Chain A
Amino acid sequence: MLRPRIIPCLLVHNNGLVKSVRFKDYKYVGDPINAVKIFNEKEADELIVLDIDATAEGREPDFKMIAHLANECRMPLCYGGGVKTAEQAKQLVRLGVEKVAVSSAAIETPQLISRIAEEVGRQSCVVVLDYKHSKTGAYEVYTHNGTRATGRDAVAFARQLEALGAGEVLVNSIDNDGVMKGYDVPLARRLKESLDVPISVLGGAGTLDHVRELISACGVIGAAAGSMFVFKGSLKAVLINYPAENRKNEVFAATR
């Protein structure tokens, strides 16, 4: 049967890997290529790499860096950061990226999703929505590393982008980023019920129990995480890690 996916998400900043807390306080955690090599050995289900400088600096993806990563990566690779055109998406796929993630450009111009899906296929077109959960219960989408509010509701907007051709939706909780206290399970459930494409959630995972909690509520889903795979222990010592096969199987038993 189809399994949930447990997905390390790596953030690239100034050519190094960093990990944030609520999209701030970036801590250097190592070298991207080295991390990819470790996740190869650990046989990770998939890998997400997000260049958090590209959009903020108004530049295009660093194709040279991505080619290098894709070259090393022996699991499916999703890249996001600075993708603004279907031509760039095509170039990324040619470099060996399986999935191209689009965020702010698709939020500004939703039709971009249709063009990318047409160019590289729906299965390779991923939408990333960073959001904050307001006190009124709204899930508002943000761009530019959590600095710009868009006024859009994450679930409604995800549905719109799905209709335009997105093949996967990844939601990223700004409030839970780096906090390691568990996923935003209620939103994950709502999205899962609202969409016909696969979804992945990011933000909040600190332990495999959080992953178990997510998949027992949502079934087959992508459980992405940053901190959990780069830190070890309560003092958050940097150590790239990933659950072994038997640990994963225990967690996946929750879906049955």
Chain B
Amino acid sequence: MITIIDYGLGNILAFVNLCKRIGIQTKVAHDAAELVGAERIVLPGVGAFDHAMELLQASGMQPTLEELVLDRKVPVLGVCVGMQILANASDEGVREGLGWIPGRVRALRSALPHNARLPLPHMGWNDVKPVNGPSLLEGFENEARFYFLHSYYFECASPEHVAGTCDYGVTFACMVRCGNIYGVQFHPEKSHRFGAGLLKTFSRV
């Protein structure tokens, strides 16, 4: 059973539908009470960093979420902006992130070589390479391709937390992991068989 956090951001239904298709039960949590007892958690998100943190705080779920993830070590998967808020802070905003994985979210533009002239947002299907073990790419480490749609990326303070990388003018961490805490910049819920494989693996960690 995967509990998907609905704090007003991200494509909740897409996760529910994909999980249903691959035989994983889901529950959508709209408040702290519905979050209690979660065995696996997906933290989705789209849009701006500050907005995501504001909504998560306003949802009243943050304390319960922290207890589950930090004390009880329940596996959690942050997706897109849901991954970015795992960091300490972001160049995109002024708010503090959850700070569960040390790092800072930076603008891809600032990391690209000046002569790169690559369009932003980074949009479309790109290859992902596992780092520090197969992690959530187990079973398709050699051919993992996901749908990306973002302009900011997670810069890990410590390389040991990088779980996967992607190349777009620069090599950046598109998968992060610290113990039971996972984050992916791309959208597994919109990445066909690759996303299904990743969620299956997450449901078993």
Contact = CB atoms under 8 A, between A and B. Distances in A.
A123 B167 contact: no
B124 A5 contact: yes
Nearest to B190: A76
B142 interface: no
A159 interface: no
B11 A2 contact: no
Contacts of A122: 121, 151
Interface of B: 11-14, 17-18, 21, 46-48, 117, 119-127, 145, 147-151, 167-168, 187, 190, 192-193
Interface stretch (A106-114, A195-203, A206-214, A227-235): A195-203
Contacts of A70: 11, 13-14
Nearest to B11: A96
Contacts of A168: 121, 123
A95 to B, nearest CB: 8
Contacts of A1: 126-127, 167
Interface in A21-55: 40, 43, 45-46
Q: Is the interface of B mostly helix, strand, loop or mixed?
A: mixed
B15 to A, nearest CB: 10
Interface in A1-27: 1-5
The secondary structure that dominates the A interface is: loop
B120 A75 contact: no
Enumerate the 3 nearest inter-chain pairs by beta-carbon distance, A residue then B residue, closest first: A121-B47, A123-B121, A43-B192
B13 A96 contact: yes
Nearest to A199: B119
B120 A197 contact: yes
Given A76-B190, A124-B46, A198 B151 contact: no
A5 B190 contact: no
B106 to A, nearest CB: 16
A120 B122 CA distance: 16
B124 A121 contact: no
Contact of A196 (B46, B120, B147): B120
